[in-house]
Amino acid sequence: MRTPDRHAWQRLASRAVALGVAVGAVAGCTADPGPDPVPSVRTTVAASPTGDAAPPASTLPPVPVQDAVAPPPEAVVAPVRLQVPELALDMPVDAVGVAADGSMEVPPDADRAGWYRFGPGPASAEGTTLLAGHVDSRLSGIGPFADLRRLAPGAQVQVTTSDGAVKPYVVVDVTKVPKETAPLEDWFSRDGSPRLVLVTCGGAWRQDVGHYTDNVVVTAEPG
């Protein structure tokens, strides 16, 4: 069992990577991302939320001490399936975290989506449920997320969670943004109205840096 100090560090670390992992989450968008085009982003991450390489204790913020045992953090119900009927999209969702290099993990198979497990889930009362996937990969070729750009506001999305519940969403926005101006804080938000954000790559492939130029972002609200 992890100690309260470890839980506190994981929460702090997951907040710290919110700005760093977003670029890493979608910078590669294929299973073979190539050279790192944004080293300055990854250097902002001191450690992954898994705590595999925690910094010295002197660098950690103090953890408040309580007389009583603190209750465990609220469990987040994981999404396990994503469906978009309009696209005939039906794919499994894997819980992912942060890789050793500070980037968000994404399943190498373009037929699977990754849910950022240190953020909110579909049953959370607030915040963004973030799902990211490769647009293509050498493992599986063109993936279902390649069709996200075809969606329009009003499209229906369904997310099934690990407890069997089905959460319906309605698409409210579909946009393509340059990676350099990606709204990272927005994608990793933990507060505000609950919503679903799907992120993949778009635009032109840049062989020199090993990734696409843009991100395709679908935002959906509970429907």
Question: 125-144 pLDDT, tens per residue?
Answer: 999 999 999 999 988 899 99
Residue 192 has pLDDT above 80, yes or no: yes
Q: Note the CATH number of domain 4-54+76-222.
A: 2.40.260.10
**Tokens (6 digits) for 202:** 């778009």
DSSP string, 44-74: T-SS-TT-TTPPPGGGSPPPPP-SSPPPPPP
Nearest by Cα to 155 from 79, 88, 81: 88
Average pLDDT over residues 44-66: 37
pLDDT in tens, 74-85: 689 999 999 999
pLDDT exceeds 60 at position 162 = yes
Quickly state the pLDDT bin for 29 (edges 50, 70, 90).
low
pLDDT at 117: 96
- pTM above 0.75? no
Mean pLDDT computed over 24-41: 40
Q: pLDDT band at 149, cuts 50/70/90?
A: very high
Mean pLDDT across the chain: 76
Spatial CA neighbour of 198 closest among 36, 84, 48, 76: 84
* Pairwise CA distance, residues 199 & 148, whole Å: 9
CA dist., res. 6 & res. 102, Å (int): 19
Contact by Cβ (8 Å): 126, 94: no
Give the SS3 label for residue 38: coil
Phi/psi at 13 (5° precision): -65, -40
Please state the rounded mean pLDDT for residues 17-42: 40
Torsion of CA 177, 196, 37, 150, to 10 degrees: -50
